[in-house]
Amino acid sequence: MFSEKELILDETELREQVALLSEEQRAAYQHCEQAALRRPSTYVALNTLFFLGAHHFYLRRWLRGLSSLALGIAAATLLLGGQVLYGFAVLLALAIVDIPQLLNYEHLVHARNNNSMRQCLIRVKKSLR
């Protein structure tokens, strides 16, 4: 996990590289960035439904999202099938995994956004040479 200082330095470096682009490249970059960036507030809202894995899907972490969804469905099935103890155990395990992510949501989203910015910059440089 990156520190906030490292994330800010990385973002600043990326923004400096964007500033060096031509006007046409900057416009293409802005379009790409606008589609790729994620909001921390949306991530937090989706994380409240941790057992559905929606917050993982939001950050395009497909495998984690699918596993959270599968475990959430398994927990619901256990709860509805009368296996209350096992159902709550699965939900507790999901919560234990997702609570640290909820507490570090700003860093997670910032790191993901920096990576998206880097990918947009690479795409723009390649496509408009």
84-123 pLDDT, tens digit per residue, is 999 999 999 988 988 888 888 899 999 999 999 999 999 9
Dihedral of CA atoms 11, 16, 21, 27 in degrees, nearest 10, equals 50
Query: What are 19-69's pLDDT values in tens digits?
Result: 998 898 899 999 999 999 999 988 888 887 666 888 899 999 999 889 988
Rg over CA atoms, the chain: 19
Looking at the structure of the chain, the number of domains it has is 1
Range of the domain at 120: 4-127
Task: Please tell me the pTM assigned to this model.
Answer: 0.81
